[in-house]
Amino acid sequence: MKNAQIPILGFAAFSGTGKTTLLTKLIPLLKDLDLRIALIKHSHHNFEIDKPGKDSYRLREAGASPVLLVSSHRRAIITEFSRIQAPKLNDQLKVIDQSDLDLILVEGFKAENFPKIELHRPSLNKPLIFPNDASVIAIATDSPSENYSTMTHLDINNPQMVAKFIMNTFLKTKR
């Protein structure tokens, strides 16, 4: 990823595997280790973060793009794409100010080439990603009995183990 100025690490899996669930437990653990973290989530659905009838929604509907909505608590930038097409992770990295970050976590973008932890639950009967994706660096699963060849194996239900792997192996830091 040429637009990555800091380490990026993805969490790749089929829908329903628990990517968001793991990330919501993992992020506080990493923040407790003083990491400054951003997250990029790929959605396969059209989504609306603004509400019909609100001024910012009306201004965007009138043709403004981007629309920057800001308060004392947060900022949101809403940009309409001129062409409907699948987003590319490298393009999304351009819009994040990476200067005050230590790590960007990515949910999704499983077909792109960047370091990823694959989440896998054999009970869902979905194929493994790592045999066909050399950028998968570890597999987090709820099935310790499965044979994942030489792939690093993590417990999907143990976010502390995943955090330790990220710190000690992926980032190679001891905090």
Q: Is residue 96 domain-shared with residue 155, that is, in the same domain? A: yes
Q: Is residue 61 domain-shared with residue 33, that is, in the same domain? A: no
Percent of the chain with pLDDT over 70: 95
Lookup result for tokens 């990330």: 23
Q: Is residue 149 scored above 80 in pLDDT?
A: no
Q: For the domain that residue 26 is a member of, what is the CATH number? A: 3.40.50.300
Q: Is residue 72 domain-shared with residue 99, that is, in the same domain? A: no
Domain count for the chain: 2
pLDDT digits (tens, 9 = 90+) for 107-132: 989 889 999 999 999 999 999 999 89
Q: Is residue 175 scored above 60 in pLDDT?
A: no
Cα→Cα distances 105→44, 66, 145, Å = 18, 24, 28
User: Over the chain, what is the mean pLDDT?
Assistant: 90
Q: Is residue 129 domain-shared with residue 105, that is, in the same domain? A: yes
- Whole-model pTM: value is 0.88
Q: Is residue 26 domain-shared with residue 72, that is, in the same domain? A: no
Q: Is residue 48 scored above 80 in pLDDT?
A: no
